[in-house]
């Protein structure tokens, strides 16, 4: 019986009619403890639903299911526990790890909730102004122009959100396939900054990038790398403040410990008010904003850094963020080179 348990691909134990564990495979020993054999199941599994299921099967036979919520290495975990009577004196208890499945379900629920919230706010605003225009606003040209301007801004906001959602979906679908085209990162940076020049001019910002950099070749997706640079520079322009420099610094090719191979580092540096260190680990989460109202005011969707993270991951690179309150932030992208 013990040899059979060892062949199970999931943790499994056998409990005798005296309520003591008589057999356990290696996976169960790793999950529940090395000394669980010959112990009462209640002392091994301190969970009322699981204990009730085992007791029912041992006393009345049949099979029962239960959910076991626990913590492993400071991480919440969920197991589907199945209890089966296997003869007149024993019960087989198996533990199927459902943590990843539950986390995925929760991520989907959170994603739908966040998207619904992000779309509902501008839609509610637009509907309110439309009702006003149809009633008291019909004879007020000044109010009409003001309301139409607000509605236009809200429509643009929804359009940005939809575009970012589509972009994030494409990036996630491609993430496991590493690009194979050889591209020059320096040329991509220059071309991208040319398109961003009008954006910087509106806020009286200056984008600084040394024009004398030598070509830096890597295997990459040109459009996606352009999107990384665009998102990072636009963030620096939005949150760095008007009339301040946004600097792009590119390192020389050298061995990068985080990549375990040669690579280059692109730094996008702003002179904004900085980010509290406690918020930095969450910046790449979908829809996460440090300052929710300010982010919406400057046109942020809360998806830009999440898109950057997935693109950098696809290129087998690393994204790091450093910031000092009152002194600005530095977003660094480390990419392998050829």
Residue 279 has pLDDT above 80, yes or no: yes
Asked whether 306 and 319 are in contact (CB, 8 A), the reply is no
Higher-confidence position of 82 and 149: 82
pLDDT at 54: 93
Q: Which of 263-267, 284-288, 321-325 has the lowest mean pLDDT?
A: 284-288
Residues 223, 324 within the same domain: yes
Pair 19, 39: CB distance under 8 Å = no
Domain shared by 170 and 188, yes or no: no
Structural domain that includes position 27: 2-97
User: Quick one: pLDDT at residue 111?
Assistant: 74
| Reported confidence tier of residue 137, pLDDT bands at 50, 70, 90 | low
Exposed, middle or buried: residue 114 (CB in 10 Å: 0-12, 13-18, 19+)?
Answer: middle
Residue 317: closest CA among 266, 252, 271? 266
Considering the domain architecture, whether residues 220 and 315 belong to the same structural domain is answered as: yes
Last residue of a domain, one of 174, 190, 210: 174
296 — pLDDT class (breaks 50, 70, 90): low
* Whether the Cβ atoms of residue 335 and residue 264 lie closer than 8 Å to each other: yes
pLDDT at 191 over 80: yes
Beta 318-324 vs 261-269: how paired, if at all?
unpaired
Indicate if 55 and 121 belong to the same structural domain. no
196 with 78, same domain?
no
Domain boundary (56, 78, 97) is at: 97
The pTM of the full predicted model, rounded to 2 decimals, is 0.65
Q: Kindly state the average pLDDT of the residues 116-123.
A: 77
Residues 256 and 333 in one domain: yes
Phi, psi angle pair for 85, to nearest 5°: -80, 125
pLDDT at 110: 73
- The reported pLDDT for the residue numbered 286 is 82
79 and 111 inside one domain: no
Domain co-membership, 132 together with 231: no
Q: Read off the CATH number of the domain in which 126 is found.
A: 1.10.287.130
Assign 151 a pLDDT band (cuts: 50, 70, 90).
confident
297 and 199 share one domain: yes
Would you give the DSSP letter of residue 20?
B
CATH number of the domain residue 58 falls in: 3.30.450.20
Of 79, 97, 115, the position where a domain reaches its end is 97
Do 316 and 183 have their domain in common? Answer: yes
**Same-domain status, 338 and 220:** yes
Number of domain units in the chain: 3
């Amino acid at each position: 019986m013990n040899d059979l348990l060892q062949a199970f691909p999931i943790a499994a134990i056998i409990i005798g009619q005296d309520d003591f564990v008589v057999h356990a495979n290696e996976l169960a020993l790793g999950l529940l403890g090395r000394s669980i054999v010959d112990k009462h199941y209640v002392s091994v599994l301190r969970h009322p639903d699981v204990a009730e299921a085992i007791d029912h099967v041992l006393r009345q036979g049949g099979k029962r299911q239960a959910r076991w919520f626990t913590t492993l290495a400071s991480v919440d975990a969920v197991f589907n526990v199945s209890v089966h009577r296997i003869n007149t004196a024993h019960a087989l208890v198996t533990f199927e790890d459902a943590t990843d499945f539950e986390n995925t379900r929760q991520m989907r629920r959170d994603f739908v909730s966040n998207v619904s919230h992000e779309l509902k706010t501008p839609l509610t605003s637009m509907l309110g102004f439309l009702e006003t225009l149809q009633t008291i606003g019909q004879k007020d040209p000044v109010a009409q122009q003001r309301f139409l301007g607000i509605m236009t801004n809200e429509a643009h906001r929804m359009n940005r959100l939809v575009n970012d959602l589509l972009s994030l979906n494409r990036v996630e679908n491609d993430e496991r396939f590493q690009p194979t085209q050889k591209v020059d990162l320096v040329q991509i940076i220059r071309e991208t900054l040319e398109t961003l020049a009008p954006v910087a001019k509106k806020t009286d910002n200056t984008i600084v990038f040394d024009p004398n950099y030598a070509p830096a070749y890597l295997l990459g997706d040109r459009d996606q790398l352009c999107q990384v640079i665009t998102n990072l520079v636009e963030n620096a322009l939005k949150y760095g403040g008007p009339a301040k420099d946004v600097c792009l610094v590119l390192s020389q090719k050298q061995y990068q410990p985080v990549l375990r191979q040669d690579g280059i580092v692109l730094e996008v540096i702003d002179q904004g008010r900085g980010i509290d260190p406690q918020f930095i680990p969450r910046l790449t989460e979908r829809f996460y904003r440090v300052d929710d109202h300010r982010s919406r005011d400057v046109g942020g969707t809360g998806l830009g850094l999440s898109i950057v993270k997935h693109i950098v991951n696809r290129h087998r690179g690393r994204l790091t963020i450093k910031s000092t309150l009152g002194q600005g932030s530095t977003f660094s992208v480390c990419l392998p080179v050829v």
